[in-house]
């Protein structure tokens, strides 16, 4: 294999291209260590050693650091590693390692998703003080969340079975989310009971669930 081109990749790294196309990314000092230069031959055994001794350990460490930040699927990990210049063969090795030790799977994605919904129910981020003529905007907001979930699952490569389970869980989430908002409105009603002068200034009417669900269905 002949090295056809070596180009800068950031401040400290370089992309290495072979006749077959892009090969991998190495630190500049590693190019000298492995004798890599334009128009020089790169033996098959040297290429395999670079993948085995340098790129695989580095890619595995990168994958583990990504998982420390948040749960991800194998598909997401592989896409990230490919973007950072790791060869497809190395990304597949890393994916196999993660799968073997069950570090990434659909359940990890589902757990992260469930945690996010649970946090929304505990601290619902929606204005329950302003008096509104309609709750259709709330239905639209929830429809946007549902669409965002669908997009994330597609990008993450979640199985069809798990995707359907997560989608089916969204409607019960809506009910609990609206319950949480009504609880906040209960607090408004208590304030008005204690301070009648606030009547007409803050919301005391419960969420109109029919309007929410109509808008949710319309904007999906």
* 15-72 confidence digits (pLDDT tens): 999 998 999 999 999 999 999 999 999 999 999 999 999 999 999 999 988 887 777 7
How far CA 45 is from CA of 33, 48, 55, 59, in Å, comes to 15, 5, 14, 20
Q: Is residue 118 part of a domain?
A: yes
Between CA 2 and CA 37 the distance in angstroms is 9
Percentage of the chain beyond pLDDT 90 is 63
Domains held by the chain: number: 3
Instruction: Look up the pTM and report it.
Output: 0.59
Assess whether 157 and 61 both reside in one domain.
Answer: no
Sign of the CA dihedral with 192 first, then 198, 200, and 201 last:
negative
Domain membership of residue 159 (yes or no) is yes
In this predicted structure, the answer to whether residue 142 has a pLDDT above a threshold of 70 is: yes
Q: Is residue 128 part of a domain?
A: yes
Which residue range forms the structural domain that includes residue 22? 1-42
pLDDT of residue 149: 84
Q: Which pLDDT band, with edges at 50, 70 and 90, does 105 fall under?
A: low
* 106 CB neighbour count, 10 Å cutoff: 19
Residue 191 pLDDT? 94
pLDDT at 213 over 90: yes
23: its two tokens: 């090969």
Mean pLDDT of 83-95: 94
């Amino acid at each position: 294999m002949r090295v056809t081109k070596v180009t800068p990749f950031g401040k400290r790294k370089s992309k290495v291209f072979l006749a077959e196309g892009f090969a991998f990314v190495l630190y500049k000092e590693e190019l000298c260590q492995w004798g890599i230069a334009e128009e020089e031959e790169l033996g098959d055994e040297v290429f395999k050693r670079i993948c085995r001794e340098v790129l695989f350990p580095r890619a595995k460490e990168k994958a583990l650091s990504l998982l420390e930040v948040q749960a991800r699927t194998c598909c997401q990990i592989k896409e990230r590693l490919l973007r950072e210049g790791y060869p497809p063969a190395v990304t597949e090795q890393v994916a196999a390692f993660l799968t073997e030790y069950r570090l990434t799977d659909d359940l990890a994605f589902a757990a992260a998703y469930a945690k996010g919904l649970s946090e929304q129910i505990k601290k619902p981020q929606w204005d329950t003080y302003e008096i509104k003529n309609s709750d259709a905007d709330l239905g639209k907001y929830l429809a946007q969340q549902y669409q965002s979930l669908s997009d994330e699952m597609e990008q993450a490569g979640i199985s069809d079975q798990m995707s359907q389970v997560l989608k089916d869980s969204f409607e019960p989430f809506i009910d609990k989310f609206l319950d949480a908002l009504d609880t906040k409105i209960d607090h408004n009603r208590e304030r008005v009971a204690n301070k009648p002068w606030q009547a007409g200034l803050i919301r005391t009417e419960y969420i109109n669930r029919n309007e929410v669900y109509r808008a949710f269905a319309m904007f999906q």
